[in-house]
Structure 1
Amino acid sequence: MLHFPYPRTHRSVAAMLSSAMLTMAATPAFAQASPEAGPQPASPIIVIGRGLPDSPATPAYDVVTLDRGTIASSASGRIEDVLTSVAGFSQFRRSDSRSSNPSNQGATLRALGGNASSRALVLLDGVPVANPFFGYIPFSALAPDRLGRVRVTRGGGSGAFGSGAVSGSIELESGGPDSIGLLSGQVLVDQRGETQASLTAAPRLGQGFAVASVQWDRGQGFWTTPRDQRVPASARARYESWSAALRAVVPLTDTIEVQASALAYDDARTLRFDGADSTSSGQQASLRLVGRGDWAFDVLGYVQVQDFSNIVISATSFRKTLNQAKTPSTGYGGKAELRPPIGENHVLRLGADVRVSEGALYEEPFNAITGLRTAVRRAGGRNTDVGFYAEDDWTIGDLILTAGARADRWQVTDGFFRELDAAGRTTIDTRFADRAGWEGNFRGGAVWRASTALALRAAAYTGFRQPTLNELYRPFVVFPIATQANAALRNERLRGYEAGIELTPVPNVTLTATVFDNRLKDAIANVTLTPTTRQRRNVDAVHARGLELGARAALGTVSFDGSLSWTDAEVDASGTSAALDGKRPAQVPKLAATGTLAWAPREGWRLAATLRHTGAQFEDDLETDVLPAATTLDGVVQIPLTRAVSLLLRGENLFDESIVTRNQAGSIDLGIPRTLWAGVRVGLR
């Protein structure tokens, strides 16, 4: 029997942790000597608020780092928009978190898609943020204003990142007083009357600091349905979301600090038809202890509770056909890493982590003609992963070698599917057999600094991902297509190789190129069985080969940041999925490119333009319907009015490009049209 805490318990946990964090932040550091101890030598206490430093061999993999300036100056003010500056990043659909169903917000890299689940591991200060049941990322809860750095690793396998990183990892790091300042906030309105507001305070308290932040977005939305396809039931993509975060960092000694965090959010959206409403909400809390002495360590524990609801409206009768009333889920786990001092040329990482995801859905199908409820369904289960890893980086002059191994014990337990008819009689009551096993993964690489202008690197790696509870147990409908779950799904397993070059022809100019070959065996895809039925199934593999280019330059007051990804991805399939063999995975473009040109003529000023191109992709697995290529231009202008206040102008899709986000036999959804924002930004250092 699965147990889910009540929402009141969730709020109590968050409230208790918030109170504890404020108490911690106001408490003097333990490193201070007591009066009875007599005079003591002063020990410098440096509070960082991050995890352990990057290991020397981090550049062996295809890593892109986004700084605070890049993060805080996106045209939409949304983290998914920030991440698209790394070519190869994608969600299942092209919509952002204002106009898509939350369950479509899976994050992936390198065209290793196939359905809406995340194949990139997304971490916020070391905590996995994906919904424990679905695997989608709650992007609207991850406010860019709170972040100090984002690091995206394309590929790289599991390693010390944990399971799930089959296409790569996305590490979000919260900012502190140095990057955010004492106070940062903004208020904007667009031409449709939609509003966006955020406020973040990062005061220093004693020898530590705290960060408190709120964000609220609300709008009537735009028309996702083309004008010639609208009907009386058509609706704008209305949205309203808020999130609040609290974080405290306090030193315990001159080398040890404790970090406590809490996050709460709520998101409501409407898509395509009146009544087609979805909600996503959650709370999470974490506690982290970081030691930076000779025996460096990082110990982290977290808990998260989330919920999801969704109403499906028939595209013919415009009546409710499904009420996914609630999908409560709980995720909890932790990680411990130790870096023993084994010599100045080695960085050894020894660690273990655990991750548990459990949840269940409650939904009610309705007759699209009569409007009467026809059944009640419940389904869910539990996934568990316990991992152990070891990784060593060895520096030999200008050459850095790295090698690591990881073993995971995975379990799929307590799976069930139960259905009652309209009279309350049980028609289906299935308990699925528990499954468990071990997965072993390896990775290694090398970086050679041939000169100050040239670095060469190469890496090979493996990884794996468990099917989500959603893929295993939850059927769903995007009218008129019904997709069945599959409790017999196997784990996805990755094998990858890559090689790259980094050129620095002149100071502050960096050019990178990476070639890669990634094969995702037993990839989970939505496989067409009939014109109106699909099922989640393992195909033999998704094979992605490609080229990734990057360019970064900072020349005086002008800067440029560009990225391009070209990927040849195809499905290897046989048996009942043979019709997919040789086809490109659904929702995967061959070409994606982005470039941002910025000018900061003086302090506080910033003018930036971002050009993005996403190539054509297919809506479905059989390559029946095409989503045309789209090229968009965004712009940001910031002009200081006083020392603390700036005028902020932002423009999304300035060319008003038609962005097709869904195409099912000519039934189309569109992405955001031209949107102009104006407001003010406040910043106090």
Structure 2
Amino acid sequence: MKSTVSLGVLFAILAAPASAQEVDASDEADNTIIVLGEGLPETPAAPAYSTVTIDRDQIVTVASGRLEDVLANVAGFQQFRRSDSRSANPSAQGATLRALGGNATSRALVLLDGVPLSDPFFGYIPFSAVDPYQLSSIRVTRGGGSGPFGAGALAGTIRMESADAATLGGVSASALVNDRGGTELSATLAPEIGNGFAVVGGRWDRGQGFFTTREEDRVPATARAGYDSWYVSGRVVQPLGRDLELQARAAAWNDERTLRFEEADNSIEGQDVSLRLVSRGDWQVDALAYGQWRNFTNVVISSTRFTRVLDQKDTPASGLGGRLEIRPPVGEDHTLRIGADYRRSEGELFEDSFSAFSGALRENRFAGGVTSDLGFYVENDWQAGALTLTGGLRADRYTISDGFYRALAPDGAVISGDSFADRADWEATWRAGALFAASDTVTLRAAAYSGFRLPTLNELYRPFVVFPVVTQANASLEPERLEGFEIGVDLAPAAGVAVSATLFDNRVEGAIANVTLEPNLRQRRNLDAIDAQGLELAAAVDRGPVSLNGTMVLTDAEVVGTGFAAPLDGNRPPQTPEFAASVTAAYRIAADAQISATLRHVGAQFEGDRENDVLPAATTLDLFGEARLIDRLSLVARVENLFDEEIVTRNQGGSIDIGTPRTIWLGVRWGY
């Protein structure tokens, strides 16, 4: 915490002179202070990369009220499994884009107000730690390489921006209940303070959940996917001058769930703090520092004897980092970005293994380590009439250190004890793009890029068992590296109508996957590559009371494998559909009433790397409706999975888990 504050003070000292000069040189009329609560604006060439923006109206009308379902409106977004954050094991909720294969770790970089959200140990995204109602917009860039966003943006970047006080409307609250007795409560207070504002909010979700096991497969020990989670956050945005703005944020959350069987409980908790200074003067500066503290627990119950076999009782992890970007005044035709970012992840796992037959303690296990990345980048956009060019270089110095794995017998005797050699290296990545405004209605674009992702501490050091399959860790894993290119066209054939199409080709060298070595034994390995080529389509219509937003993606993805991975060569990566689509149609009946429907389809996927255990295609329809009752009070109705489609989320040798069935919500909102 001390380091966060001291960095913020340093950044303020560096940025203040430019701001002070502007204030001194301006007349009284120019002293108007506008507080945005955002980072620096997008650069002119940002549209060169395939991007979909989700606006606030779409965010707050999703039928489940969950962030992951908001993101699912962008075809190609996927988690490792199809479960949402009420019924999934959190460690399996990695986020990726472009069908680059699922391994429970995020291949997309997810940012909230510029701060990475991924867990420092596992790499999953704590979706329940973000209340969608507090967001103003989400910008999803598919591909694009690492660029100025930091290492980890392998498959793309998901940038979420918090809403300001004017958008949130002072006081807002909601209370809903579903047909299984689950509840969703949230409230936000957003007062104006001085020339800035503050936002304090919280949310509490709880419910008995649904059975993730088919009725014919249930046993007395089968449990509903119960959940109980809360989240609180506070944010302050204040001007320090006409062009200098301070943004401070703190958040805490806890999320407890049950998976398949009684007492198979898991939980995540976290605390985040961040401090950001944004200068919008001639010398533009975006300086950010943050700290994160997380924990994870998980109890595994035997699927045959229904006794405790594993207690992952403690996984403390921390992430510390920051980012500094400077945009010097280099002329109206150029936007130059010079910056550096840093992230350090540290974590340890403490778990106990028990005999499924006697219940006796078998082993105490400990694993952990540290990774860090220091990156430097420079990027320039050049506008020359109808043509806009962009290009950038990035260099990262990463370290993997202090890795260990120990297993002790109940009497303290060492069963295995490994300490792994420290490693460090440099990675160089690049990206370039072009936009050409062929006419008022047609824009052509092209881009090429590279990126990389470090293996997580979980991938490096933590083995796990989903009986009878053992998955080994691998301390020798190398970073994943991506190279790709894309071409696209954006059309605006009429007012309120936008259509885009993108052809892409991405290749991930050294893709990390759980590779089957023999029956019931897997290990995390670097594959030769995963190749993915595809077509992305997006359309948006906003004509009076009617709006339509749709995305679709067709992807041909395959594993390139030799040696140990030769049996996988040509296979489609696990958890990867060939086709996905989402379309939302909305109609505003009047100024105080609206309805919308979201139709989603996800094609068939394979559970395993040998193209085995199929997850059938699934099509769902969600509904949302809101009508004002009095003043700022509205009645809200939501329906998830209207036709009760069976969504298979896991298929391990015929052992099936299913996703959210039809769920009906009814409640009220104040102030939204």
Under TM normalisation by the shorter chain, which class is it?
A: over 0.9
Instruction: State the match for 1:655 in structure 2.
Output: 643
Residue 242 (structure 2) aligned to one of 231, 236, 254: 254
- Find the partner of 1:486 among 474, 477, 481: 474
Residue matched to 2:13: none
Correspondence for 1:91 among 53, 68, 79? 79
For residues 58-457 of structure 1, the aligned pairs below 5 Å read 58-457=46-445
Q: Report Cα offsets for 1:282-309 as digits up to 9, x if no partner.
A: 0000000000000000000000000000
Deviation at 1:590, TM superposition (A): 0.5
Measure how far apart 1:178 and its partner are: 2.5
Q: Which residue of 2 aligns with 1:6?
A: none
SS in 1 for 2:566: helix
Partner of 1:641, secondary structure, is strand
Shift of 1:42: 6.3
Deviations 1:457-488 (A, max 9, x none): 00000000000000000011222211110000
**Amino acid paired to 1:466:** L
2:488 is equivalent to residue 497 of structure 1: no
Code of the residue aligned with 2:353 in structure 1: it is P
Instruction: Tell me the equivalent position of 1:613.
Output: 601
Q: CA deviation at 1:13?
A: 11
| Aligned counterpart for 2:533 among listed residues 545, 554, 557 | 545
Distance of 2:3 and 2:609 partners within structure 1: 43
Task: Look up the match of 1:56.
Answer: 44
* Structure 1 residue 114: Cα displacement: 3.6
Cα distance, 1:41 vs structure 2: 6.5
Structure 1 residue 578, shift from structure 2 partner? 1.1
Separation of aligned partners in 2, 1:41 and 1:553 = 39
Residues 96 and 102, structure 2, Cα contact 8 Å, conserved in 1: no
Say if 1:597 and 1:609, in contact at 8 Å, map to a contact too: yes
User: Tell me, which stretches of 5 or more residues in structure 2 are unaligned?
Assistant: 10-18
2:377–2:393 CA contact under 8 A, matched in 1: yes
Specify the code of the residue in structure 2 equivalent to 1:591: F
- Alignment partners' CA distance in 2, 1:356 and 1:316: 41
In 2, Cα distance between equivalents of 1:231 and 1:517: 46
The SS at the match of 2:583 is strand
Instruction: Provide, for residues 135-182 of structure 1, a one-character-per-residue CA deviation record: whole Å limited to 9, x for no partner.
Output: 000001111011011000000000001000110000011001222211
Segments of 4+ in structure 1 off by > 4 A?
39-42
User: How much is the aligned-residue C-alpha RMSD, in angstroms?
Assistant: 1.8
Distance in 1, matches of 2:28 and 2:209, equals 62
Q: TM-score of the superposition, structure 1-length normalised?
A: 0.94
Q: Does 2:522 match 1:534?
A: yes
- Cα deviation for residue 643 of structure 1 reads 2.1
| One-letter identity of the residue aligned with 2:634 | S
Equivalences for 1:486-635 in 2 at 5 Å?
486-635=474-623
C-alpha deviation, 1:452, in angstroms? 1.0
Question: Which segment drifts farther, 178-187 or 127-136?
Answer: 178-187
Q: Which residue number corresponds to residue 14 of structure 2?
A: none
Counterparts of 2:591 and 2:633, CA distance in 1:
13
Helix, strand or coil at the partner of 1:505: strand
* Contact 2:79-2:102 within 8 A present in 1 as well: no
Between the aligned partners of 2:28 and 2:658, the Cα distance in structure 1 is: 66
Moved more, 170-179 or 218-227: 170-179
SS of residue matched to 1:221 = coil
> In structure 1, how many angstroms separate the alpha carbons of the residues matched to 2:91 and 2:467?
15
Q: Distance in 2 between matches of 1:654 and 1:72?
A: 19
Q: Displacement, 1:532? A: 1.1
Q: Give the whole-Å Cα distance in 1 for the aligned partners of 2:624 and 2:592.
A: 13
**Counterpart amino acid of 1:524?**
I
State the Cα distance separating 1:604 from its structure 2 match: 2.8
- Whether the 8 Å contact between 2:449 and 2:483 is mirrored in structure 1 is yes
Q: Write the deviation string for residues 76-116 of structure 1: whole angstroms up to 9, x where unpaired.
A: 00100000000000000000000000001000000112411
1:666 aligns with: 654
Distance 1:251 1:489 in 2: 46
Give the 3-state SS of the residue equivalent to 2:199 in structure 1: strand
| In 2: Cα distance, 1:85 partner to 1:142 partner | 17
SS class of match (2:350): strand
Letter in structure 2 aligned against 1:260: A
Aligned to 2:12: none
Alignment partner, residue 16 of structure 2: none
Shift of 1:654: 0.2
Q: Which amino acid aligns with 1:128?
A: P
Provide the rounded CA distance (Å) in 1 between the counterparts of 2:281 and 2:294.
Answer: 36
Give the Cα separation in 2 of the matches to 1:313 and 1:480: 12
Q: Residues 581-628 of structure 1: CA distance to partner in whole angstroms, max 9, x if unpaired?
A: 100110010000000000012223110000000000001111110000
Aligned residue identity for 1:470: N
Deviation at 1:419, TM superposition (A): 1.1
State whether residues 404 and 461 of structure 2, in contact with CA within 8 Å, keep that contact through their aligned partners in structure 1.
yes
Partner Cα separation in structure 2 for residue 559 and residue 132 of structure 1: 39
Deviations 1:192-250 (A, max 9, x none): 01000111121111100001110000000001000000000000000000000100000
Please state whether the residue corresponding to 2:592 is helix, strand or coil: coil
- Give the 3-state SS of the residue equivalent to 2:503 in structure 1: strand
Partner amino acid for 2:126? Answer: P
SS of the equivalent of 1:514 reads strand
2:120, 2:347 within 8 Å by CA — same for their partners in 1? yes
TM-score, length-scaled by structure 2: 0.96
Equivalent pair of 1:312/1:477 in contact (CA under 8 Å)? no
- Structure 1 residue 428 displacement after superposition: 1.4
Q: Distance in 1 between matches of 2:72 and 2:658?
A: 18
Deviation at 1:562, TM superposition (A): 0.2
Match of 1:679 in 2: 667
Checking the alignment, whether the CA contact within 8 Å between 2:531 and 2:559 is kept in structure 1 is yes
How many Å separate the matches in 1 of 2:166 and 2:595?
23
